[in-house]
Amino acid sequence: MRAVPNLCERRRAAGREAAELGAYPTPAARTGMRGAAAAEGSVRAMAEFVTLELPEGEGARGVAVLRIARPPMNPLNVQVVREVAEAAAAVAADPRVAALVVYGDERVFSAGDDVAELAALNADQAQAMAADVQSALGCLAKVPQPTVAAISGYCLGAGLELALGADRRVIGDNVKLGLPQIHAGLIPLAGIRRLSLLIGPGPAKDLVYTGRFVEPDEARALGLVDEVVAPDDVFAAALRWAERFTDGPARALAAAKAVFEAGPHGLDRARTEWAGLFATEDRRIGTESYVADGPGSAAFVGR
């Protein structure tokens, strides 16, 4: 990957371009996930509201960036959520990707649910789409690579539910977070269980029942987020964390994540994953280099 400042500037340029166009991406780029990649394979346009930037160069492992762009506030309607899930699936299947950053722009991650869309649904329609949308909102937890949400501005409702599926959340010190669906007579579709596991049932109930906003200091104290930085440093901080894994043991990282996601079956899953790693090239490289030269000396190959 290029240096952090260059990639950060590309994020800013993408945001300016989206604002100028009033739509993201251009119609010519709306070829779906399997459409042609942009210059030198570094950027792939994803449907209408999501772009996915993949590591540059053949065989290179690096950080992918999934960007949500539905100006001006990135509300998550059904289409956007499905596009995010498709992008996440593409990342999961790409061996070049060592880690994933999920981002909106410098102003907002997501203002949450598209309440106008929800207001038009009847009970039968809601029942028919609930499982699909719930699964899509949890898509980041299904990505085997480490994931980090870079959060600016507002991260509310479905936006926070999406971010809860990431392995790490980095926010600006001016961010407001919350699950305000209760004020629309609804509940979070995908975030209650994960929130409860993350911060405990008592604090989780408070946030869901009241629908109140959470300021950065409280979010950090609760464990809702992992790092609070200046607003202009959000993407760079998330990228720095993600880049730690570009030379890491991809199979072992995926195994560890699978155990975390296994919940009450974690011990059983840990046995399976641990034993399976003995068939990987990275395990051989890692153990041999550990014995010979100590920890941190292995040159992993991702197999």
Residue range 4-33, pLDDT digits in tens: 334 445 444 444 443 333 332 322 232 233
Do 166 and 22 belong to one domain?
A: yes
Instruction: Give pLDDT < 50 ranges for the chain.
Output: 1-8, 10-41
Number of structural domains (the chain) is 2
Point out the domain boundary residue: 203, 220, 243.
243
Same-domain status, 102 and 230: yes
Q: What is the pLDDT of residue 57?
A: 72
Based on the fold, state whether residues 141 and 273 are members of the same structural domain: no
> Is cis: bond before 249, omega within 30 of 0?
no
**CA 283/CA 301 separation, integer angstroms:** 10
Answer whether residue 72 is part of any domain: yes
Q: What is the CATH number of the domain that holds 202?
A: 3.90.226.10
**pLDDT in the model for residue 42:** 60
Same domain membership, residue 143 and residue 95? yes
This prediction's pTM: 0.86
User: Looking at the domain assignment, is residue 298 inside a domain?
Assistant: no
* Claim to verify: residue 181 and residue 222 sit in the same structural domain: yes
41 and 119 co-located in one domain:
yes
Whether 164 and 264 map to the same domain: the answer is no
The position carrying tokens 């570094």 is 42
Q: How far is CA 74 from CA 109, 156, 243, in A?
A: 7, 10, 26
The residue out of 218, 243, 268 marking a domain boundary is 243
Which residue segment(s) compose the domain that 57 sits in?
A: 4-243
Residues 54 and 186 in one domain: yes
Please check whether residue 73 lies inside any domain of the structure.
yes
Same domain, 95 and 174: yes
Residue that terminates a domain, selected from 243, 258, 285: 243
pLDDT, tens digit (0-9, with 9 covering 90-100), for 134-189? 999 999 999 999 999 999 999 999 999 999 999 999 999 999 999 999 999 999 99
Domain assignment present for residue 164? The answer is yes
- The answer to whether residue 300 is domain-embedded is no
Indicate whether 255 and 111 sit together in one domain: no
Q: Is the peptide bond before 180 cis (omega within 30 degrees of 0)?
A: no
Q: Are residues 203 and 269 in the same domain?
A: no
Q: Do 153 and 259 have their domain in common?
A: no
Helix 192-199, helix 201-210: angle, nearest 10: 130
Q: What is the DSSP string of 192-260?
A: HHHHHHHH-HHHHHHHHHH--EE-HHHHHHHTS-SEEE-GGGHHHHHHHHHHTTTTS-HHHHHHHHHHH
